[in-house]
Chains A and B, each alone.
Chain A
């Protein structure tokens, strides 16, 4: 702006001098570039006003004061100009302009928008999951006052097991810190009228729903009389079942339904949004029907630990306050019932914590990883924008000399970032909507409360904040830098070069951080992928391919005599084995890799009897002949179970290698006998260990009893069928079901699933963690490579002249290539060094998620470095080739 001729006041009046000083002070509000012109305008007016007054009738004090008042008004003018630069209306104008300018550069815009879309989308999807699983409270009254009672041996809190119903009842009556205690245990009934359907269900204390703090959607919940010996069989059903099977019939409460051939009165229906506390689930499925115990708590086995306990803390009591009282009560119960309770206690955990378990840590680690991806994405967009702002320096210069304030320029530049963030954010949320379902699918049964996962308003608000935050992160800083250094610097002059150099140093620093961050993610992903591969390599002791399992419900079996049941099993299995493609079929109560759990006391007869609390237990399974063969369990020694091991034959069993080692270490177990509950079984054979709970859990001792000899339930009950054969067996579920129902149409069949799927279910957590981290690492890697290539390309174009001179002076083009490549290698190497340090510090977070590999595994670290380094150098090689092709004449002429 041309400066006006300086004022030359002839009569330096005190009031004029004050006014001019005031204007000078007020001008401080303005950006330095605009101050002079602004002061000149105000000073000229003040002097002109003073002159006019002086020429007329002389200046009175009142006129002088009025002049001062006018001058003071300049403060409002300055304030208006300063604030107006950041005004919202300007921002909207700028957004429109930014939109137009972004449309005119589709390549730049698409890169930036897609980068942010990926970053924000991944974060939104993961936050949806974190919120659904960890942050969303259970839909109960004051859910924070609910605790789980975890039973375990003293000193082994990690190996938690269930609790027994009598102990729970005693805790309820003895502990005053609770306002209510309830138990829940698995129960899977089937409808025995109408279409056969197996239901996930539970047996619960009568006050279960009251302890949780839920009110029925229809009818009522249980009353005290409905629990115990002689109670009227009563059930509560879920809203889903009520709608699905009974058409939401409002008259259903009060009428009866036939479950397991027994009439149950339907008391009421849970609310539509009711969600079980995940204490009992069936491969992730929540109970849909609840009944009360048909026995009195005092009469029930105190050693039968098939219950889970939940309690509501009394007013004014917290977990730490209630814990000592529970410990004391358990100590009294151990004294009173040493055989069942010696060495046992209960630990309280907030219901929410006990439900999510290790999922919490894993989700937070993933959240951190995805946050790093967003950071890398922001760095890239910031780099893109810095480059773009450098290109636009001339335009900004013109704008500034046209009188645009610094604030105005920053707003203008920032508007573009905001526009990119807005579009990227909207697309990212759409991406999250589309992928969150797939991510939850990957998790299998590992992710509790998965039904409730969604991208809701709170998550959207977070994404909006994320988009805004990223816009500030990647947009405002470069904008301030560039706008701050631009005004009045001559176009294309040395100062411009200096700014470009400063900006490039900034970009190099950012790319270095990208490389480091990427290495951390790549190493993390490598560790988890290696763990996942290790898990897959684990010998489960059973065949995973060509094996199909299906569950038969017991209702159609219970009314059979044991001999008739055994005959029917023979028939069912023989008919299945006759199907083409099937090699062998058997039946057993609980198939491996499903989520049931029991541990029954085993006492070897050739050892001294154990003292209280010293008894040991094993997983005891009930099997028909063919079952272990169908699993492809390897017989180590002895023989398997055959039909001749019937109800009348001497008790025999096949045990696992771990069990043989536990009870008869160093000697042959064949022929040795043990007491299981009150019956004696002799070892017929030993099979290799089976990892019942999946590859992560070391195999425990197992005993397989012939179903006909199994003392508690016998063979007249529904077992799971295991079928092994060609690969086609995995898809023969309907055929096998038809064969079974042709023998007995009332048999309800559920959970048809290949062994491979059961395995996939147990490794859902590792698979989800490895897949997500691998995706995040790949994203970060791609973004970092784009970053490296960008910075190298820019360095090449900035050093065009230098390279041109070198080539003109006779340097070989190969020299130019190595010049740029060296630069790329240096940048990548320093990034990798920083990344290695960060990785060493951060992979410790993965400690509980790695399997068969150390968090500092050198091979993984080396492979990660090699990958990032190779790709990084490759990405600087492309701009380097361009450097070699620089025509020295062109390069020198250009400047």
Chain B
């Protein structure tokens, strides 16, 4: 989708959602990103049409004994961004992680 800047945070969020994370706090747990980063990113992705959000069915909430949570899903437009996200994450070791992942001997 045009206009979506692929940041590391965006890539991590999309990756986490592809792996099954559906709620904002779950995404935070998986990615380790703070809420102040995750939520604005979700809002932006949704505004760009990459995500869609709904309230979970009332029955599910009742069963779990808690209020209904907001569920986020990747739209086809969002799915089209996944290769770019993967590439962004794959470039991470080269950029910042090289020394951490492959420390030099001695």
A75 at the interface (CB under 8 A from B): yes
B35 CB contact (under 8 Å) in A43, A47, A74:
A74
A786 at the interface (CB under 8 A from B): no
A44 CB contact (under 8 Å) in B28, B38, B58, B68:
B68
A4-B55, A5-B58, A6-B67 known; A48 vs B35 contact (CB < 8 Å): no
A51 CB contact (under 8 Å) in B39, B66, B70:
B66
A84 at the interface (CB under 8 A from B): yes
A5-B68, A7-B67 known; A84 vs B43 contact (CB < 8 Å): yes
Give the distance in Å from the alpha carbon of A81 to the alpha carbon of B35 in the complex. 14
Give the residues in chain A near B64, CB-CB below 8 Å.
Answer: 48, 51
Give the residues in chain A near B67, CB-CB below 8 Å.
Answer: 4-8, 40, 43-44, 47-48
Question: Is the Cβ of B25 less than 8 Å from the Cβ of A76?
Answer: no
* Nearest CB in chain A to that of B33: its residue: A73
Question: Is the Cβ of A75 less than 8 Å from the Cβ of B36?
Answer: yes
B34 at the interface (CB under 8 A from A): yes
A245 at the interface (CB under 8 A from B): no
Give the distance in Å from the alpha carbon of A846 to the alpha carbon of B39 in the complex. 63
Number of A-B residue pairs at CB separation under 8 A: 81
A452 at the interface (CB under 8 A from B): no
Question: Is the Cβ of B36 less than 8 Å from the Cβ of A41?
Answer: no
Category for how many chain A residues contact B = 20 to 34
Give the distance in Å from the alpha carbon of A522 to the alpha carbon of B5 in the complex. 57
B69 CB contact (under 8 Å) in A45, A80, A84:
A45
* Nearest CB in chain A to that of B41: its residue: A80
Give the residues in chain B near A46, CB-CB below 8 Å.
Answer: 25
A728 at the interface (CB under 8 A from B): no
B103 at the interface (CB under 8 A from A): no
Give the distance in Å from the alpha carbon of A6 to the alpha carbon of B39 in the complex. 22
A interface majority secondary structure: helix
Mark interface residues in A63-96 (1 if CB within 8 Å of B CB, else 0). 0000001111111110011001000010000000
Question: Is the Cβ of A70 less than 8 Å from the Cβ of B35?
Answer: yes
Question: Is the Cβ of A44 less than 8 Å from the Cβ of B66?
Answer: yes
Give the distance in Å from the alpha carbon of A89 to the alpha carbon of B23 in the complex. 27
A5-B58, A74-B39, A81-B43 known; A41 vs B66 contact (CB < 8 Å): no
Question: Is the Cβ of B24 less than 8 Å from the Cβ of A41?
Answer: yes
How close is B37's CB to chain A, nearest CB, in angstroms? Answer: 8
Give the distance in Å from the alpha carbon of A72 to the alpha carbon of B23 in the complex. 18
Give the distance in Å from the alpha carbon of A6 to the alpha carbon of B3 in the complex. 37
B61 at the interface (CB under 8 A from A): yes
Give the residues in chain B near A7, CB-CB below 8 Å.
Answer: 66-67
Give the distance in Å from the alpha carbon of A503 to the alpha carbon of B65 in the complex. 48
A458 at the interface (CB under 8 A from B): no
How close is A77's CB to chain B, nearest CB, in angstroms? Answer: 4
Q: Which of B23, B35, B40 has the most CB of A within 10 A?
A: B35
A49 at the interface (CB under 8 A from B): yes
Question: Is the Cβ of B23 less than 8 Å from the Cβ of A80?
Answer: no
A809 at the interface (CB under 8 A from B): no
A2 at the interface (CB under 8 A from B): yes
Give the distance in Å from the alpha carbon of A71 to the alpha carbon of B3 in the complex. 29
Give the distance in Å from the alpha carbon of A882 to the alpha carbon of B43 in the complex. 50
* Nearest CB in chain B to that of A70: its residue: B35
Give the distance in Å from the alpha carbon of A667 to the alpha carbon of B69 in the complex. 111
Name B's A-contacting residues (CB within 8 A): 3, 23-25, 28, 34-40, 43-44, 47, 55, 58, 61-62, 64-70
3 closest cross-chain pairs (CB), A and B? A73-B35, A76-B36, A77-B39
Q: List 29 A-B contacts (CB under 8 A).
A: A4-B55, A4-B61, A5-B58, A7-B67, A8-B67, A40-B68, A41-B70, A43-B67, A44-B68, A44-B69, A45-B24, A45-B70, A48-B23, A48-B67, A48-B69, A49-B25, A51-B65, A70-B25, A70-B28, A70-B35, A73-B34, A73-B35, A73-B38, A74-B35, A74-B39, A77-B36, A80-B40, A81-B43, A84-B47
Q: Assuming A41-B69, A73-B38, what are 5 further A-B pairs, CB within 8 angstroms?
A: A4-B58, A5-B67, A40-B67, A70-B35, A81-B43
